[in-house]
Amino acid sequence: MGLLRKIFIPFVGLVLAFCFYSAREDFKPEMLKGKRVIVTGASTGIGEQMAYHLARMGAHVLITARTEAKLQKVITRCLELGAASAQYVSGSMEDEAFAEHVVKEAELLLGGLDMLILNHVGNSYFNYFDGDVGHVQKLLKINFLSYVAMTVSALPRLKDSRGSIVVVSSMAGKVGFPFTAPYSATKFALDGFFSSLRQELIIQKVDVSITLCILGFVDTESAMKAASDVVLVSPAPKEECALEIIKGGALRQREIYYKYAATKIPLLIRDWAPELLDYLIRRSYNVENLKKN
């Protein structure tokens, strides 16, 4: 027992720490300088913050969402912050043709593409599943199928540039949380599709990275409005979250977890004691405060 505690456990710790850190290249903001990046859902929230970070790093940013007036404001700010160029395309991702159109615009306006950041999500409700199958279908179109359509259109250009695809997902795409059934379905779908595609790209020796981002609760306006009264977990800052996503993409990481411990530890529990995690999650909700319809 003494030997185990004194030698074996520290040894395993050291080996794990070495494996974890040795493979890591350091992030430098210059990595994004002059890179051509699409950010979807960038009129507000985490997407907006990603556009600002990319602008400060000197990237060419092409942003998209539905609300033109908000996109215009974000573009103005990006140019002030030092973007190499900043442009937008407005439209709804419910329409598959629009998803393809955005990629074509990137080719026309930027002459190619280095990074595709898929971040937008359609509006949903944070409450008991109401049985509306049409809503699930609509959300799958916006949150999942448009991600696939954009990837299909962008892959040839990303192969040219040995570029990256960044898929913004959620803890709700790895674990079942209450009150997010339609949303959660779309995020689980992303994991299945993009994890499978990543394997195929590796087999085919295609040098395009796929980074899946597993986010916990983040303090964007929409998330706070929907869930802050019910979820007894403090939200993380959207600015820092946006930077971690960009770092993960630039370093071509397989997955990123934000915030690290708050997402990684529950996921470790998930595989060994799923009922315990389900219970802990229910305990972190104040159901009394759920909006009554």
Ligand X SMILES: NC(=O)C1=CN([C@@H]2O[C@H](COP(=O)(O)OP(=O)(O)OC[C@H]3O[C@@H](n4cnc5c(N)ncnc54)[C@H](OP(=O)(O)O)[C@@H]3O)[C@@H](O)[C@H]2O)C=CC1
Active site residues: 183
CB 166 within 8 A of CB 250: no
Q: Give bridge partners of residue 37 from the DSSP assignment.
A: 61, 115
- Of 27-35, 43-51, 52-60, 155-163, the window that binds ligand X (rule: CB under 6 A) is 43-51
User: Which x/- pattern, by CB under 6 A, does the window 92-131 give for ligand X?
Assistant: xxx------------------------xxxx---------
CB 3 within 8 A of CB 14: no
**In the chain, beta strands by DSSP E:** 36-40, 60-65, 85-90, 115-118, 164-170, 209-215, 255-258
Per CB under 6 A, 171 contacts ligand 0GV: yes
User: Which x/- pattern, by CB under 6 A, does the window 208-227 give for ligand X?
Assistant: -------x-xx-x-xx----
Q: Kindly report the backbone phi and psi dihedral angles of residue 31, in degrees, each rounded to the nearest multiple of 5, phi listed first.
A: -60, -25
Q: Strand, coil or helix: what is 218? A: strand
From ligand 0GV, ligand X, none, interface partner of 120 (C-beta below 5 to 8 A by class): ligand X
Q: How far is the CB of 204 from ligand X (least distance, A)?
A: 27
**CA 212/CA 142 separation, integer angstroms:** 17
Number of residues that bind ligand X (CB under 6 A): 27
User: Which x/- pattern, by CB under 6 A, does the window 170-209 give for ligand X?
Assistant: x---------------------------------------
DSSP H stretches of helix in 162-220: 181-203
From ligand X, ligand 0GV, none, interface partner of 122 (C-beta below 5 to 8 A by class): ligand X
